[in-house]
Structure 1
């Protein structure tokens, strides 16, 4: 009689069960991460270079679907406004309802309610505390943002057609919150990376927005892929080991 057959089969069954469980959990995480992302995010192609260097013309970006009430200063948003051309545009929110936005102070900085704002995302601006760079706008301006609206500027201030172009219109160039469709969270292609929230707006009332769930979604997809591959590999090894055990000679009992 053999004393090894039953034990070997038991180990094989356990190995198969564990590998199958890993694959199943991996599929849930992998597909769930993609499904979660599809619900929360919408892809866009940036139409112009007005937001350079944060995002460039032709970049494929992921924008989190949000309600207008979730908009904060510093957010890079996608919006559609008939007066601006009735097509999706990408700009940065620098003022919300009730704010007075002006430029420029003695150091060439944008001010919001009289408070200067460092803008390290601009090409020409110097980091906080260093020597002042080029001004945040080529011409001085000021605007009061009506309630329920936002004031928008491009990061490429020398070429961006933004709220400054519409200062003489009702609302002084501001856009209704209802026009905002999404907030940029990341560049997907060609240079993947997250779009950071600028800390320079954090000291103003309302603060800055929290990051989106994209890192957790990517982690779920990555973990799912690892479990699927690991479980499949473990199942294959277990199957080969079980096959060798079945073809081997039984041990003798003395």
Structure 2
């Protein structure tokens, strides 16, 4: 009876964890090299479904904008409505409202951009850059568009929390404190994916443990 209850609890946790994830998260495949080394082309990522109004500087997001093409894209938010984003200062850093930003996630740890630019982000819009600045087709390329390089926050579909595949890159996305000193703070807290993973693993352990309990108990009784 005890093993049956343990298995039942494990099934509830295991299936409930997957259901919880299905409600909150969507899988995406990263199409380009623009976000190296944070995510690589072909990586399968898990992104929490959110409203664009909940996006903060430093977040890695999935969005789709008609001026940028037909496919969902993955970029990092470096500016929100009202920000003036510029590059570069004397140390080759990005600045937001004149405040220099150290970006440890940049590919190769180089300068924030190869060419100077400056843009003021409109209300309800987001300025997007890739972590691999040398190849990323991002807000810098779209500065002459009607949106001035930014995209409406409503275009954001989800915020990336983790890499799910390949196995060697599996794990939560590294967080950054790069934008913490700016008014309004920096990156959003990560979603509940760690808890969901714990619930699923714990559920699986209970299922296997409950299933093994009776045979092990019977074997011990026979030995005695």
TM (normalized to structure 1)? Answer: 0.83
Q: CA deviation at 1:240?
A: 5.5
Partner of 1:214: 193
Partner of 1:49: 33
Alignment of structure 1 residues 1-254 onto 2, 5 Å: 17-125=1-109, 134-190=110-166, 191-207=169-185, 208-239=187-218
Inter-partner Cα distance in structure 1 for 2:183 and 2:22: 32
SS in 2 for 1:219: helix
**Kept in 1: contact 2:125–2:151 (CA 8 A):** yes
Q: Which runs of 5+ in 1 are unaligned?
A: 1-16, 126-133, 246-254
SS in 1 for 2:195: helix
Inter-partner Cα distance in structure 1 for 2:147 and 2:83: 12
Q: CA deviation at 1:119?
A: 0.5
**Kept in 1: contact 2:14–2:202 (CA 8 A):** yes
Inter-partner Cα distance in structure 2 for 1:172 and 1:235: 67
Inter-partner Cα distance in structure 1 for 2:134 and 2:107: 10
SS in 1 for 2:210: helix
1:45-74 per-residue CA deviation (whole Å, 9 max, x = no partner) reads 100001111111111111111111110000
Spell out structure 1 runs of 4+ moving beyond 2 A: 235-242
Q: CA deviation at 1:162?
A: 0.4
**Kept in 1: contact 2:38–2:174 (CA 8 A):** no
